[in-house]
A and B are shown apart, each in its own frame.
Chain A
Amino acid sequence: MQIRVMGIWLAAAILATAIFHVPQTQAAEDTFVFTAIPDQDEARLRSRFEKVAAYLSDELGVKVEYVPVKSYAAAVTAFRNDQVQLAWFGGLSGVQARRLVDGSQAIAQGVEDPDFVTYFIAHESTGLAESSEFPKEIAGKTFTFGSKGSTSGRLMPEFHIREQFGKAPEDVFSRVGFSGDHSRTIALVQSGAFEVGAVNYKVWANELNEGRIDPEKVRIIWRTPGYPDYQWSIRGDVDRRFGPEFIEKVKAALLSMDDPDLLASFPRAGFIPASNADYAPIEDTGKTIGILD
């Protein structure tokens, strides 16, 4: 009997959860939706970007919503399928997305993005120290990239590895992994799960500031030459949907974002204009290493 009563209560609780629960993503037709690649600190994605959504909503005068995605590819797919109209992409994911959506354009990038850098980092047990030359000693060690679709965590480091060794990473290292995101790359090299890794320099600086990096255990061994990376990309058909000059309005709103709290979500010092042509080097690199057809 008692079990029966419990069952009824449970059933009631489940129904109540369902019925009284207000769906979060009740996107109406006129809602402008954006996403961001989940490159770091995924647990706080929503709190990071909902502030940005509120800012954009004020600036643009339309309802703006942020949707979290689980992977770089999911961000590209959402952009392509018009489930988001604006996205904070990495260099590679931006190129992938714009190749798939005619008329889409890169409109803004971080102040740091034209000259972005990847750090090669190593566990202290490797005995490697920082050098200005590419550290050829990493051959034969275990190595982790970030996400499979990351520019700073995969594309650029793989490009330099292939250039230096003339071989695919699987043939250079004793083990190759994909950590999924930059925070995780640092954690994996710091714990020694991988001896060497490649990480986005902004995320490294961020984690260092927040005290999550133990300099005794993991250190930078090489810095890549600069390359263009993150950018905001927008679909070309938003002008038709949200009114004339909408792209320009979005661009202006992004470029004038100066609240440090908002900028910390990216983290960037500010935004500057960007164009599709800025990312031609990334597209070429992608084709060179075979990630892009």
Chain B
Amino acid sequence: MNDTTAGYYRRSPLARTLAWFTAIAVVCLAFADIDITTVDPWAEFGRLALGLVTPDFTATENLLHAIAMTLAFALLGVSLSVVLGFALALVFHIALVRGFCAVVRAVHELFWALIFLQVFGLSPLTGILAIAIPYAGIVAKVFAEILEEADDRALRTLPPGTGRLSALLFVRLPDVWAHYKTYALYRLECGLRSSAVLGFVGLPTLGFHLETAFRQGNYAEAAALLYIFYVIIATQRLWARRQLLPLYLVAAAAILPWSSAISGANIARFFTADIVPFPLRNGEGLAGLLEWLHNLLIQQALPGTIATVQLTMIALLATGLLSALFFPLVSPVMFGRAGRTAGHVALVVIRSTPEYILAFVLLQLWGPSMLPAIVALALHNGGIIGHLVGRYTETLTLRDDAPRGLARYGYELLPRVYNGLLALLFYRWEIIMRETAILGILGIATLGFYVDSAFAELRFDRALVLIAITALLNIAIDMTSRRVRRHLRLRTTLEGR
């Protein structure tokens, strides 16, 4: 390194931070298991491709039921979360509320579903709460941030002595209401994705059949299910209308099979027996408990945490690189109308596919290493960031004599969107970590793998400890990410959330 580059790294906190992140990711990659283990992945890929062009919409038993359930869980879960999140956002200045929201959103909806499956069984409450609870934490945080960042000029003109409630209702809320609506609509899209994915752990949504179809190699059926899913998401803006919402909610509540009884005894048993560490239930006392905890931490939590962090850091770097590759595809500064349309379609497909499903497909093709998870996380998150950054470039005007082609990308475009892209990337760091843990359910040895094993062995005491560790890890990443963004003065706009 010569003098000027060294000087540059000393002066620029951004370059220094990025160098650190890159170095960490490269070290993680060096130790990562990224082999393609299938002997002939292309034969399977050929079958998948064939399935994608010959979707079979008749193969799924109870297809309409699965679609209705996917919509019902999403609508009810998201509505509940928006109401709860709104209420929490109003008292978000209370530290306890902030902490509560951080904890509930740090636990992935699939983990919530696995817990509620024990408590409520296959009752509709399981699906609704699995979406509503983590989402309420997310909504509360975003709504509170919107409120905080709102223009406060109107507020400052209020006469002294104006009640807080009046100020909120008549001055502050009207300002942010449109933002809230936009965000709620976006949450519904996420809710549809989550609802579908909940099928992977047994709820009767599209994911239930999608998982089976992919696992059994029925790609024509899987393709049909995926296409239905894309259509639901892509047409959301057409059917998700405020006037119809009450009607939808009533219909959703009406079709869910409420008759499956919820037993108070089951709920009580879960909290008073199931999650009590086994040595305590077995009367082995404190010594037994410590040994149990020690074994759990050393044999499962530690390797799981290492793999989780490793995968997160690699995926973060890969997401950053892919975002930089993706955004020009939808940027009017780089491509004409035809090229952009193709780019839009590609990015819509990539970002609408839940990363869980992407990873699942790649895992079938390449075999169980970290590679499918890295690629899935990078594609999905890169698709989202690429789309947002690409949209931002629509507001740029270049000089008439601006360079063209690669030079335009490298010297004009990238420098201008660089900070925005990084802000989004660091914002999604925590989201990537959440997903990383969950990908363990697919067999990659992150924390989710051990959580899934604990549930498979019906050891809810262990599952809960591991989920708590996952949540702590998420909260730590969230805090670090916020610190990094503040340090680098990176701001995320509303759309980025």
Q: Which residues of A contact B (CB under 8 A)?
A: 3, 6-7, 10-11, 14-15, 17-19, 21, 23-28, 41-43, 46-47, 67, 69-74, 76-78, 81-83, 96, 100, 123, 125, 142, 147-149, 175, 177-178, 180-181, 183-184, 187, 191-194, 291-293
CB-defined A-B contacts under 8 Å, sample of 11: A17-B68, A23-B255, A24-B65, A42-B212, A43-B59, A43-B216, A70-B208, A73-B457, A74-B202, A83-B122, A149-B457
For B239, what are the chain A residues with a Cβ–Cβ distance below 8 Å? 7, 10-11, 14
**B248 CB–A CB distance under 8 Å:** yes
Q: Does B127 contact A (CB under 8 A)?
A: no
Whether B254 sits at the interface, judged by CB under 8 Å, is yes
**Residue B266 at the A interface, CB < 8 A?**
yes
Residues from 109 to 148 in B contacting A, C-beta threshold 8 Å: 117-118, 121-122
A83 and B43 CA atoms in complex are apart in Å by 42
- Give the CA-CA distance A70 to B126 in the complex, in Å: 15
B457 touching A78 by the CB < 8 A rule? Answer: no
Interface residue count on the B side (C-beta < 8 Å): 65
**Residue B487 CB within 8 A of the other chain:** no
Q: Report the bound CA distance from A292 to B456 in whole Å.
A: 11
Whole-angstrom distance between the alpha carbons of A23 and B258 in the complex?
10
Given contacts A10-B235, A71-B456, 4 further A-B contacts (CB under 8 A): A15-B244, A18-B254, A42-B215, A74-B202
Flag if B453 contacts A70 (CB, 8 Å). Answer: no
Query: B64 contacts A17, CB within 8 Å?
Result: yes
| B455 close to chain A: CB less than 8 A | yes
* Given A149-B456, A192-B39, A291-B457: A18 in contact with B122 (beta carbons within 8 A): no
Contact of B221 with A by CB under 8 A = yes
Chain B residues within CB distance 8 Å of chain A: 33, 37-40, 43-44, 59, 61-62, 64-65, 67-68, 71-72, 117-118, 121-122, 199-202, 204, 208, 211-213, 215-218, 221, 235, 237-239, 241, 244, 247-248, 251-252, 254-257, 259-261, 263, 266, 278, 282, 367-368, 443, 452-453, 455-459
Contact flag A193-B39 (CB < 8 Å), given A10-B238, A23-B255, A28-B259? yes
A147 to B441, CA, bound (A): 12
Cα(A271)–Cα(B62), bound, Å: 30
CB pair B238 A175 closer than 8 Å: no
- Chain B residue with minimal CB distance to A192? B39
Q: In the complex, what residues of B have CB within 8 A of residue A3's CB?
A: 238
Interface centre among A24, A43, A82 (most CB of B within 10 A): A43
Contact of A14 with B61 at beta-carbon distance under 8 Å, contacts A43-B218, A148-B456, A193-B37 already known: no
Closest 3 CB pairs of A and B: A192-B39, A7-B238, A70-B202
Contact of A187 among B62, B121, B213, B217 (CB under 8 A): B217
Provide the bound-state CA to CA distance between A43 and B117, in Å.
22
